[in-house]
Structure formats: structure tokens, C-alpha cells
């Protein structure tokens, strides 16, 4: 869960600059707005007033081309200081036209849009003006080679976490029977990516959010991996759910909350309004949940098992020092830290003694 507000990584699927996946207590999103933009999302029960956007409605009764609509909304987003305006409008147009991906929009620049398409683009662009993340607006996003459903307020996976999965797969025997645990599964991105590329593996995923558990289950069914994944709703404090009391794992992986509480109010609107801040808030020093995971790893990792963590760039030396003092008692040894695409220490590998 990276604290930066934008990523410079280029997404091959998009062909344009990726929208910020910076980090973004449950998010205090606006129910009516969310119901309008994501009518089947977890905001069910809210009804959007039909006049919500009437004052700013710019839809006309005439048809327009994709090029004209894209240019008009890019200018509008730029004037409103919306991050990554091109990515925003290109993704929205691709979604409304039901294209295979944003990269296809360039092939339809001279295509005419009908009134229904124009109205839908207008509606979704208003959601972007309200700083709703584009992933929630289009309701899906690519994570490595998976396309996963995105529903607010479930935490949106970031590109740095794709690096974590790649790092694990490089060092994992993907043809070996492996049981792993993911703590804080969110959309299920990490577990599902690992399960897809390690066909003999099985996993247990836990999250404190009911919405996250439901979304992980739905994504697992969509990509056909649900038979190898068990999901538990559970808040990590000191241990796993009672049903897993004696369970041992070959590997534990987590992208836990690691943002210091004092920094939560400084996060971008896309994050602090819409995403579940419990997936971000790591306590006073950002290490509260990380230390709980270390305790769990000490009890539930099998001998020579491995714990993988995505952490704040300031955390690896702190974790290494902590384990140099307490690791022998916990049965854990700090192995290494690894840098992300920004050359910041982002990933930690820890072994069970």
C-alpha cells in the first residue's frame, strides 16, 4: 500500500499513462454519487436523486465523435486538476463502448457516439470529477494477467503489488504442492495471481472486510480458481480464526496496512473518500498490523516457510532490527529486502527457523 499518489509505470493494456493507484475505518464516500456511478456496488440502499448533476450537465442532443468527446473531457479534467486526465477519459470511453481495452480507443477516433453513449460518458465523467478512482468507475482493472472486478470501498491493488507477486513467483517452486495464507486479501489479486501460476498450490485468504471477502470470492469464481481458495472474514490482532488454530503454512504473504495514522488525512481524495482506510491505517508507526503478522508467522509458518510483506520504504531496517532482537524467540529470521520500480525498499522476505 504505497503512499505515493501516482505511478509512472506504463500499462501495456492501456497504451496510455496509468491512473494513479496511490493509496488511498471505512472510506466516507457519498452514497448517492456511488449509487449513480456504481449502481450494483456495496452502496446498495442509497438512491441517487435524478437532479444530482443537473447543474453541470453538458450532454447535448447531437451526436459527437470519440475524438471530440475525448478532447472535450480531457480539457475539462485538466481545468479541474483531475489527475491523469487522458487515462481517465480513455478508460471511460473504452468502458462505454465495450472495447477490449483502453488501447483500442485510438482505433475509433472518428466513430460517432449516439445520445445514450454520450449520456453515459457524461455520467461517468461527473463521477471522475468527484474524484472517484477510475477503477471503481469502470468496475474492473488488470492485475498482471488477470482482469478483476473492482467495487468500492475494497482497496484497489497497486502496480507495486504486481511486483511483489512476480518476486514471489521467481523464488517459488510453482510445481510443488504449496499451502499459503494471504492476510488482507482485498480484491483477491495476490492469492489469485499466485494460484494461477502455481497450479498445485492452494490458499487461504482472510480479510476484516465483508465486502473484500465477497469480492475475492466473486473474482475467484470468475477466473475459475475458487476450488483452491478458502476465504475467512477475520480481523488480525494476535492470531488466526479458531478454525485455523493448528494450521501450518508453507508461505504467508501480505500487503498490510502500513501508513502511519497521522498521514491518513493527507492522502489524495480518490483514496480517503472512497477506499476502505482500514486497509491503509497501520497505527502510530505504521507497524501495528505488521507486528501482528510477524507473531502469526512465528506460530503458523512451517519450518523453512517464508513470509513476504509489502511495507513502507522506511520499514525494512526497522523490521530487521526488531527480528535481530526478537526473531530467535519468534522463530523468524530476516532474509532480505527488495526494491520496487521506484528503487525504494518495498518488499521484505522473512524465513521460519
Distance CA 172, CA 181 (A): 14
Over the stretch 264-295, which tens digit does the pLDDT of each residue have?
999 999 999 999 999 999 999 999 999 999 99
Structure confidence at residue 33 (pLDDT): 55
Distance CA 143, CA 82 (A): 23
Structure confidence at residue 34 (pLDDT): 57
Judged against a pLDDT cut of 50, whether residue 46 lies above it is answered with no
Average pLDDT over residues 21-27: 38
Structure confidence at residue 133 (pLDDT): 98
- 64 pairs with which residues across the strands? 113
Judged against a pLDDT cut of 90, whether residue 112 lies above it is answered with yes
Report strand pairing: 249-254 vs 301-310: parallel
Q: Which residue segments constitute the domains of the chain, with CATH numbers given?
A: 66-138 (1.10.8), 143-352 (3.40.50.150)
Distance CA 216, CA 210 (A): 10
Structure confidence at residue 52 (pLDDT): 35
User: How many distinct helices (H) and strands (E) make up the chain?
Assistant: 11, 11
Over the stretch 133-161, which tens digit does the pLDDT of each residue have?
999 999 999 999 999 999 999 999 999 99
Structure confidence at residue 38 (pLDDT): 58
Average pLDDT over residues 199-211: 98
Which pLDDT band holds residue 63 (cuts at 50, 70, 90)? low
Structure confidence at residue 95 (pLDDT): 97
Judged against a pLDDT cut of 90, whether residue 21 lies above it is answered with no
Over the stretch 155-181, which tens digit does the pLDDT of each residue have?
999 999 999 999 999 999 999 999 999
Structure confidence at residue 238 (pLDDT): 80
Structure confidence at residue 15 (pLDDT): 35
Distance CA 12, CA 328 (A): 44
Long-range contacts of 296-300 (CB under 8 A, 24+ apart): 296/183, 296/236, 296/238, 296/239, 296/240, 296/252, 297/252, 297/330, 297/332, 297/350, 297/352, 298/330, 298/331, 298/332, 298/352, 299/239, 300/181, 300/240, 300/244, 300/247, 300/248, 300/249, 300/252
Average pLDDT over residues 66-82: 97
Amino acid at each position: 500500500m504505497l503512499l505515493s499518489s501516482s505511478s509512472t509505470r506504463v500499462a501495456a493494456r492501456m497504451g496510455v499513462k496509468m491512473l494513479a493507484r496511490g493509496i488511498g475505518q471505512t472510506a466516507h464516500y457519498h452514497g448517492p454519487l456511488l449509487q449513480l456511478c456504481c449502481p450494483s456496488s456495496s452502496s446498495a440502499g442509497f438512491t441517487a436523486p435524478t437532479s444530482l448533476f443537473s447543474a453541470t450537465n453538458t450532454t447535448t442532443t447531437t451526436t459527437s465523435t470519440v475524438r471530440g468527446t475525448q478532447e472535450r473531457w480531457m480539457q475539462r479534467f485538466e481545468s479541474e486538476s483531475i489527475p491523469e486526465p487522458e487515462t481517465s477519459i480513455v478508460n471511460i470511453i473504452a468502458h462505454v463502448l465495450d472495447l477490449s481495452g483502453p488501447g483500442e480507443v485510438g482505433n475509433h477516433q472518428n466513430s460517432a457516439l449516439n445520445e445514450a453513449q454520450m449520456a453515459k460518458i457524461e455520467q461517468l465523467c461527473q463521477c471522475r470529477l468527484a474524484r472517484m478512482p477510475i477503477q471503481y468507475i469502470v468496475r474492473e482493472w488488470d492485475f498482471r494477467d488477470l482482469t478483476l472486478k473492482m467495487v468500492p470501498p475494497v482497496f484497489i491493488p497497486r502496480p507495486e503489488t504486481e511486483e511483489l507477486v512476480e518476486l514471489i513467483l521467481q523464488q517459488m517452486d510453482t510445481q510443488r504442492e504449496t499451502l499459503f495464507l494471504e492476510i488482507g486479501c482485498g480484491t483477491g489479486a495476490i492469492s489469485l495471481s499466485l494460484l494461477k501460476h502455481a497450479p498445485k498450490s492452494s490458499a487461504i485468504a482472510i480479510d476484516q472486510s465483508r465486502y473484500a471477502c465477497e469480492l475475492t470470492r466473486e473474482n475467484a469464481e470468475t477466473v475459475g480458481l475458487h476450488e483452491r481458495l478458502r476465504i475467512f472474514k477475520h480481523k488480525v490482532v494476535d492470531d488466526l480464526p479458531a478454525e485455523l488454530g493448528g494450521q501450518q503454512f508453507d508461505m504467508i504473504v501480505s500487503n498490510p496496512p502500513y501508513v502511519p495514522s497521522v498521514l491518513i488525512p493527507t492522502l489524495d481524495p480518490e483514496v480517503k473518500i472512497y477506499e476502505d482506510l482500514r486497509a491503509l491505517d497501520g497505527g502510530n508507526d505504521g507497524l501495528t498490523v505488521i507486528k501482528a503478522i510477524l507473531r502469526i508467522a512465528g506460530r503458523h509458518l512451517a519450518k523453512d516457510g517464508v513470509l513476504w510483506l509489502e511495507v513502507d520504504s522506511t520499514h525494512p531496517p526497522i523490521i530487521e532490527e526488531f527480528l535481530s532482537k526478537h526473531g530467535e524467540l519468534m522463530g523468524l529470521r530476516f532474509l532480505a529486502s527488495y526494491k520496487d520500480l521506484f528503487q525504494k525498499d518495498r518488499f521484505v522476505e522473512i524465513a521460519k527457523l
